[in-house]
Amino acid sequence: MKKKIEDNFKKIKDKSIKFCKRAKKEHLIKNYCKNNILFLTFVITCLINSTMLRFFTMHTVENYLAFKPILADISILIIFGSFGYLFKNKNRFAYFMTLEIFFTFICMVNSIYYTFYTSFASASMLSLTQFIAPVGDAVVENVLQLKDLLYLIGPIILIAVHVLLKKKNYYTNIDNKKERKQKTLKTLITGGILIVLFTVTLSSLEIGRFAKQWNREYIVMRFGIYIYQFNDVVVSLQPKINSIFGYDKAKKNFGEYFEGRDAETTNEYSNILEGKNVIAIHAESLQTVALNRSFNGVEVTPNLNRIAKEGMYFSNFYSQVSVGTSSDAELTYNTSLMPTQSGTAFVSYFDRKYIAIPALLKEKGYYTFSMHANNADFWNRRAMHQSLGYDKFYSKETYKVTKDNTIGLGLSDKEFFKQSITKLQRIKEQNQPFYGLLITLTNHTPFSEVEKYDPFEVNLKEMVTHEDGTEEEVIYPYMEGTKLGNYFKSVHYADAALGQFLNDLDSNGLLDNTVFILYGDHDARLPKKDYQRLFNYNKETNGLLDADNPEYVEFDSYQYELNRKVPFIIWTKDKKYEKEITDVMGMYDVLPTLGNMLGIKNPYALGHDIFNIKENNIVVFPNGNWLTNKIYYNSQKSEYLSLDGDAISEDYIKEKNDYTEKLLGVSDNIIVFNLLNEDNNGKNNKEGS
């Protein structure tokens, strides 16, 4: 057997050597390139684009040195390009140009998308296109960059090559039908061989993650952008297929998952807020980095700082949003479920049964409502808020919106809060107790209408004493003119609006017997370079401190991720808790934690009461990354940052990775298969869990 293998290997080797000698002698490679210029131009330009996309998005040595995605991309391009030979010479350009535009479009869309979401685009986004227009200016100003236009060089080069070939009468060469078919077949076989070679290099872990698709960076880094995108289409269609065929398996996993979970226990905060009115603020793009920060002695968020100090302030709180951004935050806050792996729950799965804060409070006799001075159908809130259990949604049509009282996407926060007071007064008179969620709007990217914010300087001022004893105030630009600087101006305005709202609530008796809750829906998604300037500003050069400067603060990709935390505050007028909770906490922990205080419970919550789990908590992100008090783990890189400097065991990593994978799968199944609907689920799951 061994001799037979050796003989076969020798034959292959001899044939390869013979082919190479023949190719050299007969100039086969030179002739092939000469006769297939258009095909090769298409393949090379599209390969450059896909490689460029990876280099522009994922800045790791592993990605820069990766060969697998190049092999995968070139295989796909050769296979698609092979069918161009079925066309006659003169018609072939139209086919290659169509493909070139298609593959260029894939790269451009993913490049733009990655800038905003730090992930790659999904076909499931097609259902969200109706929500892009209202934030179009934000995309152009805050996301579209020069690098996103570089991909257009590919089509330009292909056109230039075509024009040149036409001038040289390249397309007059006669190629018969039989010859075209042979070329197509040979090229297709070449692409197939490369696909096989690529496949045999894959590990079981890579194949497993490819099938799940929730870790998109990981997939692109190993399978290339083109295979990722085609697989994404299949995965995006899976929920429709699975909802028919995969229900029994999903139901079984659902039951087993909750059977294995420990029941939440009571603690010192159980029922302390029971029966109180609740006013919750969904604060748009409010990031913790703005709190307790000052410029020239003036606080960015004096009102937030005050209630954070007086109430319960969760200072290591993280949003867990995906492509649904604000709507994902609402979903997870209200239900303790994660965003769906495909599309968004608010748009694709609004017709499901949800166990949510408003629905649970309704069962206790609360009147529940939401307020948002935007279009009621934006993120499909009109329908989804009913599914979450809100009795009424006060949307844009119930507010007076004029040109003079708008900032950015709509009604300014100050005017929104002012008009909401009147509504809250009527609600208090007619309904007791009540629960209301108010969704703000002003502090939304691109933070560019600086002239409409309250005056707030983000420069650096110093008094300098000259040799003659005179003093002069010197002003350094610092954060002025940066996106982050404008963000601080926007947050300062939003904080002032919130402060006035609290005063108005108090003067109208709306803070009596009321708990006030505030959470940031997600981070502001601002460029890392601005944070570098924030933490490492060199006033002498108006640049950055050198890395060897003792005052230099390292701010790498891990620090950027950790810096994306948002505030979560529970505050009451009549009791000063003055408690900061520093254990890491995710949006999905709100319902168990707040619910315990209000006397409500969701038996299928994915998060935990932070006062029960404390330092053992884990925050799972939709892309498979996770965070504990010990480490931040990046599943794309299979690397971690130790937060306390201690080494972490492989068992600890594996345990948390397994937990993350199960949680993401169960959460998706709950929504996709409507497992909380008793008509589908029956009573067995409740009894078994």
Cα 592 to Cα 263: distance, rounded to the nearest angstrom: 11
Determine contact, residues 218/635, Cβ cutoff 8 Å.
yes
Q: Quote the distance between the C-alpha of residue 202 and its chain's center.
A: 27
Q: Which pLDDT score is estimated for 351?
A: 92
How far, CA to CA in Å, does 689 sit from each of 251, 600, 683? 12, 17, 10
Task: Give residue 627's identity as a one-letter amino acid code.
Answer: L
Q: What is the CA 16 to chain-centroid distance, rounded?
A: 49
Q: Which stretch of DSSP H or E encloses residue 502? A: helix 483-507
CA distances from 143 to 54, 147, 421, 689 (A): 17, 11, 36, 45
Contact assessment for residue 609 and residue 267, using Cβ atoms and an 8 Å cutoff: yes
Predicted local confidence at residue 136, as pLDDT: 47
DSSP per position, 341-382: SSS-HHHHSTTS----HHHHHHTTT-EEEEE-SS-TTGGGHH
Dihedral angle of Cα 259, 262, 265, 269, to the nearest 10 degrees: -110
DSSP state of 609: -
Q: What angle do CA 399, 400, 406 make, to 5 degrees?
A: 100
Report pLDDT for 168.
82
pTM: 0.80
Give yes or no for a contact between 480 and 457, defined as CB atoms under 8 angstroms apart.
yes
- Ramachandran region of residue 29, left (φ > 0), alpha (ψ -120 to 50) or beta? alpha
Give pLDDT, residue 686: 37
Comparing CA positions, the residue from 301, 295, 302, 297 lying closest to residue 460 is: 295
What share of the chain has pLDDT > 90, as a percent? 68
> Using an 8 Å Cβ cutoff, are 618 and 628 in contact?
yes
CB 468 within 8 A of CB 433: no
Looking at this protein, which amino acid is placed at residue 643? L
How many beta carbons lie within 10 A of that of residue 363, not counting itself? 9
Phi-psi region of 318 (alpha: psi -120 to 50; beta: other; left: phi over 0): beta
pLDDT at 685: 39
Residue among 600, 689, 612, 618 nearest 264 (CA): 612
**Residue 96 CB: number of other CB atoms within 10 A?**
23
pLDDT, residue 6, reads: 56
Cα separation values, 461 from 74, 296, 298, Å: 56, 6, 12
In the chain, which stretches have pLDDT less than 70? 1-28, 116-118, 124-144, 172-174, 212-214, 238-244, 679-689
Q: Hey, which bits of 552-667 come out as E strands?
A: 568-572, 579-581, 585-586, 619-620, 626-627, 631-634, 639-642
CA 13 to chain centre: 50
- pLDDT tens digits, one per residue of 562-582: 999 999 999 999 999 999 999
